[in-house]
Structure 1
Amino acid sequence: LGAIAMFFTAYSYSTLSQHISSSGSAYAYAGVCINPAVGFLTGWILLLDYLLFPTLVAVLGGVAVHAILPQIPVWVWPLIYVAIGTGVNYLGIQQTAKFDKLLVFIQLGILAIFVLLIVRLLMLDSSQITLSFRPFFDSQWFTPGLIATAISVAALNFLGFDAISTLSEESEGGGRAVSKATLLALVLATVLFIIVVAFAAFATGNVDRFAEGNATNVDRFAEGNVGGIWLKVAFSIIVAFVCAVGNIITAQTAVSRVLFSMGRDRMLPAFLAHVHTTRKTPDYAILFTGGVTLLLSYLFSGKIESISTLVNFGALFAFFVVNLCVFILFNFRMKAQRRIFAHVISPIMGMIVIGYVCLNMNIHALILGISWAAIGIAILCYRKAHNQNIAIDLEGKKLLD
């Protein structure tokens, strides 16, 4: 249900990426479909998501591994994660893609081992495995109110597919390749989520044994239940490391392209638009992102909830604007190409879903997010007062590695 809820937004990203080929993603979409000022504000708020997400991952990964290896200070892990992520990104998009593939194969391998061990345990001693449809449907908890709340939470687990749109200027297939990849990413994530949750539930049995708020312990318990303590420790370390590095690489790839695009348009300092002469990557933006991520990792150490809520605010705002862009573009400026589902029903449903998810957002996140937006508005007012140009450059040099 969470995937279905996010499908509408993914479809909007897929639609716009075919018509607007820019590494600026939601920033460029809003600037072209609405106006450059809204584009800047969207990009500014989007930075909350793209700059803080690698910070969140670095902090989470550090805490996870430190719990298993307390001898190593927790601050060491974010340093390692960010150094690897920044280094890989600096080498170029082709090297980044190869490294990402390696990390994906490692994670798929871990998932395959986990599933095979559960199947093996079922064959050896079926009493330890609870095969039921309960992970998918439990009449005791299946009420409209709880399901609606659960959807708003589950939908946030799909954040990230939007980052693909930042590679529009570098992908060999251009906007069409990005369009297909966006929807494919959502489908694959949904399938993998279902597999992990279902098999973890099968191996766990009665989840009522876990205290409220400790649902994340289910996977760790399941690992220990099917493979013993060695699997629990090994998987925890490997998954924490691989997920942290992989997500930091992806997030830094995305945010460096948005910073590059905004720097190219002089919406942010121009040095962010610098392109490496041989690697053809926004090298200054990548290094800037790495430095900011490292700094924020220490400033926000132990404040995981605060980071995650701000990340959600930035992403949800951008999602809402992207859906709005599709509706405006095809209902006012490109009426001849309008399709009812793709350009009317889908974006409206996307805005409704995002609006509902925002209703369940932490009030402190809303206050901080609105405060960040207010800073962006103040910058806009300053630029206009000093007659500084506000425009989106879609003719800028493409990054081809």
Structure 2
Amino acid sequence: MSNNSRGLQANVLGTFDTVVMAVAGSAPAYSIAATTAVLAGAVGPAGPAALLYCAIPMLGIALAFSYLSRIDVNAGASYSWVGRTLHPFLGFVSGWALVMSATIFMVAGSLPAGSMTLALFDEGLADDTALSTLVGAGWFLMMLSVVLGGARLTVRAQLVLSGVELVILALFAVLAFLHTDNARVFDWSWLGFSQFDGVSGFAAGALVAAFYYWGWDVTSNLSEETRNSRRTTGLAGLIGVGVVFLLFEVFTIAVNVILSARRIEENGANVLAVLGEEVWPGWGGKLLVVAVLLSTVATLETTLIQVTRSLFAMGRDRTMPAALGRVHRRWNTPWVAITVVGAVALGMFVASNALGSVGEILSDAISAIGLQIAVYYGLAGLAVVVAYRKKLLKSPTDFLFGGLWPLCGALFMFWVFVESLGELSSAAVAIGLGGLGVGLVPMLWYWRKGSDYYRPARLDASRTVAVDYVPVSAASSRSAAHEGLPTDF
């Protein structure tokens, strides 16, 4: 099968590459820096418990992605899987939830990148939202260019960015463990339920924890560009969740031990730099700022991949403008989708200046993204049960890993979604639900226009799906027969 018939460039990424992408997608240093204060505000010192109890259902969702990727290789991932198992409308909602969460993250991720870059030179400049936005937009455009250059260039950049980040984090994990000055004693209650403010308090913490883990599923969006992708993408996602869980737990516990609740609250998105300064005065804070900056830039790259590959799949299926399904002749990347996302994100950068400080924007954006993550992860967890329904009782392994665990993960995500609505700010709820609601317009429009996506062949684990995807050409007419749908063996 030639690259031209596939659209995207096939067999570019190997197993190690996809594991790196999975870890980078969850952005360990960025997630710890940007979200620790938000998590502490939600659950106090029980942050390690929230991360632990959210990791268990998150592994169930990772298993769902792994099992579904075995039978349907599609750049749209949950958009395709949910649409072909539960209902096309739910599939579109799943894909749109990813698109919206990733687009919101363009601002939530780029603003800290700008402020941290400025902090390396002058601490006073870091609080200047306008200047942070300008510098962050510069980083965003740089990553946009890398993603446009193709999967091979993307993974090379990722190896450098994430490699340095993980070395710095590993060093500071050891330093934090050895640090004893003014440190509190580790308390096992930090891993228990007793610290949560009831069920709703736990739900609020779990929603924030979902944001921590989000991003490992970029491997599924890269499946059409990965070697042996039916096995590789799911395995890489599972390894990615395991690696970032360990990093999140180590640093969240270290923050509890070394920093007081007041210092966490006062420093907001700068918590990791303050931790670094405590364990290594002079150099520690600067090095961890570098790690967070690299992590932020790296996850901007993986998020761009997720949103542009999802839009590419939607354009190919004609559930969004068909132009989004076009690929660049030289780089084999969805250049129209990349250009559109870049333009929308830059517009959001300008609008974000009217919303308040970097910290205020981050808090609401993280909660809004958490709601959208819960939707598309939960739907994927249900989809795998339906796709494997004929096989679940034939094997204990399939029953546990392809059925029960993903189902529990899905129910957990939906429960967190419902419970959190009453706890979040009106701005966070408006951004989260409003973003999902906007998707009804293109969904109904292209459904009425007769997209074949809304008349799908059912996804069944007893059959795999061919990957003979045909790119949308510029000459395609609205009335042309849809050539991009997968066919069953």
Q: TM-score range by the shorter chain?
A: 0.7 to 0.9
Determine whether 1:255 maps to 2:313. no
For the Cα contact (< 8 Å) 1:383–1:389, is it kept in 2?
Answer: no
2:152 to 90, 94, 109: 94
- SS of the aligned residue for 1:268 comes to coil
Q: CA deviation at 1:5?
A: 2.8
Q: What are the within-5 Å matches in structure 2 for residues 76-115 of structure 1?
A: 76-115=134-173
Q: CA deviation at 1:130?
A: 4.7
For the Cα contact (< 8 Å) 1:26–1:322, is it kept in 2?
Answer: yes
Flag the 1:153–1:231 CA change in 2: closer, same or farther, 3 A. Answer: same
CA-to-partner distance for each residue in 1:93-124, whole Å, 9 max, x for gaps? 011111111111111221233245446x65xx
Flag the 1:198–1:331 CA change in 2: closer, same or farther, 3 A. Answer: same
1:350 corresponds in structure 2 to 409
Inter-partner Cα distance in structure 2 for 1:92 and 1:111: 28
Q: CA deviation at 1:185?
A: 0.6
Q: CA deviation at 1:213?
A: 7.2
Q: CA deviation at 1:261?
A: 0.6
1:231 corresponds in structure 2 to 284
1:132 to 186, 189, 213: 186
CA-to-partner distance for each residue in 1:134-188, whole Å, 9 max, x for gaps? 5854897378656565344323311112222101111112121001011011000
Q: CA deviation at 1:86?
A: 0.8
1:325 to 365, 383, 391: 383
Determine whether 1:383 maps to 2:446. yes
Flag the 1:371–1:75 CA change in 2: closer, same or farther, 3 A. Answer: closer
Flag the 1:118–1:380 CA change in 2: closer, same or farther, 3 A. Answer: closer
For the Cα contact (< 8 Å) 1:56–1:297, is it kept in 2?
Answer: no
2:248 corresponds in structure 1 to 193
Inter-partner Cα distance in structure 1 for 2:92 and 2:203: 33
Inter-partner Cα distance in structure 2 for 1:154 and 1:260: 29
Flag the 1:48–1:224 CA change in 2: closer, same or farther, 3 A. Answer: same
Inter-partner Cα distance in structure 2 for 1:22 and 1:169: 6
Inter-partner Cα distance in structure 2 for 1:282 and 1:156: 26
Q: What are the within-5 Å matches in structure 2 for residues 270-349 of structure 1?
A: 270-301=322-353, 302=356, 303-331=361-389, 339-349=398-408
Q: What code does the residue aligned with 2:468 have? A: E
Determine whether 1:141 maps to 2:188. no
Q: CA deviation at 1:67?
A: 5.1
CA-to-partner distance for each residue in 1:322-352, whole Å, 9 max, x for gaps? 0111122222698767932234322321122
Flag the 1:296–1:142 CA change in 2: closer, same or farther, 3 A. Answer: closer
- SS of the aligned residue for 1:161 comes to coil
Inter-partner Cα distance in structure 1 for 2:378 and 2:232: 23
- SS of the aligned residue for 2:225 comes to coil
Flag the 1:337–1:40 CA change in 2: closer, same or farther, 3 A. Answer: farther
Q: CA deviation at 1:214?
A: 5.4
Inter-partner Cα distance in structure 2 for 1:26 and 1:180: 16
1:150 corresponds in structure 2 to 205
Inter-partner Cα distance in structure 2 for 1:305 and 1:139: 24
1:360 corresponds in structure 2 to 420
Q: What are the within-5 Å matches in structure 2 for residues 43-122 of structure 1?
A: 43-66=95-118, 69=122, 70-71=124-125, 73-118=131-176, 122=179
CA-to-partner distance for each residue in 1:338-382, whole Å, 9 max, x for gaps? 932234322321122112221114263444444444433343333
For the Cα contact (< 8 Å) 1:29–1:322, is it kept in 2?
Answer: yes
Determine whether 1:169 maps to 2:224. yes
For the Cα contact (< 8 Å) 2:189–2:195, is it kept in 1?
Answer: no
Q: CA deviation at 1:21?
A: 0.5
Q: What code does the residue aligned with 2:442 have? A: I
Q: What is the percentage of aligned positions where both structures have the same residue?
A: 22
Q: Which runs of 5+ in 1 are unaligned?
A: none
1:396 to 469, 475, 479: 469
Deviates more, 1:243-252 or 1:195-204: 195-204
Inter-partner Cα distance in structure 2 for 1:140 and 1:379: 45
4+ aligned runs moved over 6 Å, structure 1? 332-338
Q: CA deviation at 1:211?
A: 6.5
For the Cα contact (< 8 Å) 1:18–1:176, is it kept in 2?
Answer: yes
Q: What code does the residue aligned with 2:413 have? A: I
> What TM-score, normalized by structure 1, do the two folds share?
0.86
- SS of the aligned residue for 2:319 comes to coil
Inter-partner Cα distance in structure 1 for 2:191 and 2:153: 43
For the Cα contact (< 8 Å) 2:63–2:402, is it kept in 1?
Answer: no
- SS of the aligned residue for 1:107 comes to helix
Q: What code does the residue aligned with 1:395 have? A: D
Size of the aligned set, in residue pairs, is 392
For the Cα contact (< 8 Å) 2:328–2:334, is it kept in 1?
Answer: yes
Q: What code does the residue aligned with 1:168 have? A: S
Deviates more, 1:4-13 or 1:336-345: 336-345
Inter-partner Cα distance in structure 1 for 2:193 and 2:58: 25
Inter-partner Cα distance in structure 2 for 1:276 and 1:189: 34
Flag the 1:45–1:201 CA change in 2: closer, same or farther, 3 A. Answer: closer
Flag the 1:209–1:315 CA change in 2: closer, same or farther, 3 A. Answer: closer
For the Cα contact (< 8 Å) 1:46–1:317, is it kept in 2?
Answer: no
Flag the 1:377–1:158 CA change in 2: closer, same or farther, 3 A. Answer: same
- SS of the aligned residue for 1:74 comes to helix
- SS of the aligned residue for 2:132 comes to coil
Inter-partner Cα distance in structure 2 for 1:139 and 1:8: 21
Inter-partner Cα distance in structure 2 for 1:135 and 1:66: 38
Flag the 1:333–1:274 CA change in 2: closer, same or farther, 3 A. Answer: farther
For the Cα contact (< 8 Å) 1:18–1:175, is it kept in 2?
Answer: yes
For the Cα contact (< 8 Å) 1:81–1:244, is it kept in 2?
Answer: no
Inter-partner Cα distance in structure 2 for 1:150 and 1:384: 37
Q: Which runs of 5+ in 2 are unaligned?
A: 1-51, 458-466, 472-489
Q: CA deviation at 1:10?
A: 1.4
2:13 corresponds in structure 1 to none
Q: CA deviation at 1:241?
A: 2.3
- SS of the aligned residue for 1:345 comes to helix
CA-to-partner distance for each residue in 1:289-324, whole Å, 9 max, x for gaps? 222222222222443333323322222111111011
Provide the aligned C-alpha RMSD in A: 3.1
Deviates more, 1:332-341 or 1:85-94: 332-341
2:273 corresponds in structure 1 to 220
